[in-house]
Amino acid sequence: MNRLWNALFGSALAGAMLAACAVGASAADRTIFLTFDDGPLPGTKNVLSVLSQENVPAAMFMVGLHVETIPNGQDLLAEAKSMSLVTVGNHSYNHANNRYRRFYANTKAVVADMLHANQVLGLTPIVHARLPGRDVFRLPTVSREDLSINVAQWEREWLDYELVAEAGFYLYGWDFEWVHSDDGKPVQSVDRLVSEIDHLFQYGRFAQPGKMILLMHDEMFQDQFDGQGKLQSLIQKLKQRGYAFGDIRSYAPSNP
């Protein structure tokens, strides 16, 4: 009886260990970097709460003007910066006033705007940053243009991304977005989003192999949209499927 029990127990243990190794290998090859834009805004508090509860890292690309004008903006910035899980990044001072062509037609003005945001956000180089409305990468190991910009737009803007990077900014685009409507409401359901993420990892067409940068916006996670519940559900479902969550600071480390 003891031999049978030992054999069964040993077999079960070996199977569990193999399964754990498989999950670990799978997770190591499938890493998601959570990023949130435009804060501080209504919804930022819920994002910070979920990140703390679920113990996952994220990058929060913040807008300097929102820090100065949104109620509790300074407090939300301070809370985010106090969390070791959170990397506060620069998302410009005025978000281009939502006039992107005019904003990007003057690279020096873009740099000045980003440096102003650094002052408001209390950031010093090297600064993790995302340009408003532009899915572009300029990192030590990754460089990519905004694939959504056509030649005519590029010629009207003439933005020198290298000059922005040389000013001390690591520029991050994104691989996929949890889309929201004009009022901030998430478009995809959590289950639909998870299914889309699964599908994309099968093809692996990311800026870096096995690494997905997921774009979201703070305003999506307001109470009126059950934002906290949806974000927590997303993270828990991704954990159950074996995904790892990466710290943006390890995405493209500087060259030695």
Q: Which CATH class name applies to 33-247?
A: alpha beta
Mean pLDDT by 10 residues, the chain (256 residues): 38 38 52 98 98 98 98 97 98 93 91 97 94 95 89 76 95 98 96 98 93 98 97 98 97 66
pLDDT value of residue 80 = 98
What length does the chain have? 256
pLDDT value of residue 145 = 92
pLDDT value of residue 249 = 94
pLDDT value of residue 254 = 61
Q: What is the pTM of this model?
A: 0.87
Domain ranges of the chain: 33-247
pLDDT value of residue 2 = 39
pLDDT value of residue 86 = 98
